[in-house]
Amino acid sequence: MLLEKLFLNVLIALAPVLVYTLFGDRWPHSKSPYAIGLLYGISSALCLIFSYYALDLYWELRYVPLVISTVYGGPLAGFINYLMILATRTYLGGDALLFGYISITLAFLGPLLFAKKIGRLTGYRRIRAVILISVIPSIVMLLILISFTYLNQVEKPLDFEPIRAVLFFGLIQTLGTWLSCTLQEFNYERAIMKEEIQRAEKLKTLGEVAASIAHEIRNPLTVVQGFLQLMSATIVEGKNRSYLQFALDEIARAEAIINDYLNFSKPKLTKYEKFSLSDLIESITTLLMPLASYKGIHFDSRVEEQIYMHTDRAQLQQALVNVIKNAVEASMEKSLVQIKLELKGNHAQLKIIDKGKGMTREEIKRIGTLFYTTKESGTGLGTSVAVRIIEAMKGSIIYESEKGKGTVCTISLPLVSDESNRKDNHSYKQLEEL
C-alpha cells in the first residue's frame, strides 16, 4: 500500500512540469514565481491528501515539488509552496502536527540555502545538485520518525516495517526528483532552442533587408557627400561652413549605422592575420583616452604577456572598441576602468571591469538584442555587433553585473596553436632583450 501511494505521489509531483510543457508557451505568467509557487504548492497539497498514514505520520512526496519550486522558481515560489504545505498539514491535523511543522520547516531550509548556487548551474550538473538536496527531506523524515516514535508510543501496523519504509521513501523521492528535474531541463533546452530559432530568423530577415537597402541608400549619400565636400572647399568661414560640417558629420554617422547593420546581420571575417592582442588593446585604450579623460576616467591595463591571435584584426578591434567604450560611458566620473588580459589554456581571456550603475539579471539577458540599450540615447547596435563578431570568431562574451556596483565583461577568444603561440612569445621576448 505504501508503494502504491508513493508512486501515485510521483505522478502528482510530475503534474506541474507536464502543465508547463503543454501550456507554458501560451501562459503569459508561466515564469512568475507566484504562478510557480502556487502550481507546485497545489501539487504538494495533493501529495499530502493522497498519502499513506502510518505511525501517526504522513508518508508522501510533498517535498519533491517544494525542492523543485525553490530551485527553479526562486525563494518566493518556494515560500509560497511552503505556506501551502503548512496549511494542508494543519487541515489534516493529527497527533504529530508539531513534528510535521518541524519537518516541513527543516526540509524547506535546505533547498532555500542552496537555491541560488544551484540556480547558476545548468544541465546534468544542476540535476545532480538538486538530487543531492532532495536527500535532506529523507534525512529529516528519518529523524522525525525516530524522535516521534521514541517520545510517543504508537501502534505499528502489521504490514509496515519502518526501516524498509524509510528506504522506499528515500529511493522513490529521489526518483521523483530526478524525473521532475529532467523534464524541467528538457523544457529549458526547448525554450532556448526556440529563442535561438527565432533569433536566427530575425537575423536572416535583417540581413536581407540590410543588404537590399544598403546599396540604394549609399548611392545618394555618396553623391550628397561629394557635393557637400566641393561646397566646403569654396566656403572658408561663417555659419554656412559650420552647417556644411554638421551635414557631413551626419552623413558619416548614417554610413556608420548602415555598416553596423551589415556587420550585425552577418559579420565577415575576411582579412585573417597574426597580430599581438596585447598591442591591439593598448592601441584601443589610446584611441579611447580622449573620451575617458572627458569624464575623468583612467584605464588600468594589466597585460602580463604578449598573446598572439590569428583572426580578422579590424573586426576584433571594432568589437573591443564597442565593449570598452560602453564601459567608459557606463562608469561614474573620475572612476577606473580595469582591463585584464591573460592566457587561459588555448584561449585569451579579456576582462573589462567598470564601476558604473550596473545591470539587473533581466537586463543582462537582453544584452546583444537588437535595439536594446541601457543608455538614455543609442540604438544598442554597438553591443549587438560586438557580440556577433565575438561569436563569429568562435569566442564567448559573458556579462556579470550587480546594480549599483558595476559590470564585468569577460571575453574569451581562441588563439593560434599553443606551439605557435609559445614561439611568438619567445621571439617577442628576444626582441625586447635586444
Q: Which residues contact 196 (CB under 8 A, 6 or more apart)?
A: none
Residues 414, 399: Cα–Cα separation, whole Å: 18
28 or 75, which is more confident: 75
At 203 the pLDDT is 65
Mean residue pLDDT across the chain? 80
Task: Answer yes or no: are the C-beta atoms of 389 and 283 closer than 8 Å.
Answer: no
- Across residues 226-233, what is the average pLDDT? 78
At 417 the pLDDT is 43
At 106 the pLDDT is 86
Least confident of 59-63, 242-246, 312-316, 374-378: 374-378
Whether the pLDDT of residue 433 is over 50: the answer is no
CATH number of 272-433: 3.30.565.10
- Across residues 51-59, what is the average pLDDT? 77
- A 10 A CB-CB count for 22 gives 10
**Cell numbers for 45:** 497539497
At 365 the pLDDT is 78
At 46 the pLDDT is 93
- Helix axis angle for 33-49 and 63-73, nearest 10°, is 170
At 85 the pLDDT is 92
At 227 the pLDDT is 79
At 265 the pLDDT is 58
Locus of grid cell 502528482: 12
For residue range 383-432, what is the model confidence (pLDDT) as tens digits?
Answer: 877 888 898 888 999 999 888 888 999 999 998 644 444 444 444 444 34
pLDDT band at 332 (very low <50, low <70, confident <90, very high): confident
At 431 the pLDDT is 39
- A 10 A CB-CB count for 182 gives 13
Whether the pLDDT of residue 350 is over 70: the answer is yes
Residues 171, 173: Cα–Cα separation, whole Å: 5
234 or 420, which is more confident: 234
**Cell numbers for 84:** 501551502
Whether the pLDDT of residue 196 is over 60: the answer is yes
How does strand 298-303 pair with strand 57-59?
unpaired
Whether the pLDDT of residue 235 is over 80: the answer is no
At 302 the pLDDT is 87
Instruction: For the chain, give the percent of residues with pLDDT over 90.
Output: 14
Alpha helices in 94-161, H assignment, sequence order:
97-119, 123-151
At 340 the pLDDT is 92
242 or 176, which is more confident: 176
pLDDT band at 372 (very low <50, low <70, confident <90, very high): low
For residue range 256-312, what is the model confidence (pLDDT) as tens digits?
Answer: 767 666 665 556 677 888 888 988 998 898 888 888 888 889 998 888 777 888 888
At 77 the pLDDT is 92
335 or 141, which is more confident: 335
Whether the pLDDT of residue 87 is over 90: the answer is yes
For residue range 6-41, what is the model confidence (pLDDT) as tens digits?
Answer: 888 889 989 988 888 888 777 777 788 898 999 999
At 185 the pLDDT is 87
**Domain boundaries, given as residue ranges, for the chain:** 2-198, 211-265, 272-433
At 272 the pLDDT is 87
Amino acid at 56: D
Among 402, 401, 419, 418, smallest CA distance to 410 is for 401
At 125 the pLDDT is 87
How does strand 396-402 pair with strand 52-54?
unpaired
For residue range 114-165, what is the model confidence (pLDDT) as tens digits?
Answer: 888 887 787 888 888 888 888 887 787 777 777 776 666 666 665 667 677 7
For residue range 242-260, what is the model confidence (pLDDT) as tens digits?
Answer: 778 878 888 887 777 676 6
Cβ-based burial of 364 (10 A; exposed 0-12, middle 13-18, buried ≥19): middle
Residues 203, 266: Cα–Cα separation, whole Å: 8
Whether the pLDDT of residue 377 is over 60: the answer is no
Q: Which residues contact 295 (CB under 8 A, 6 or more apart)?
A: 328, 331, 333, 334
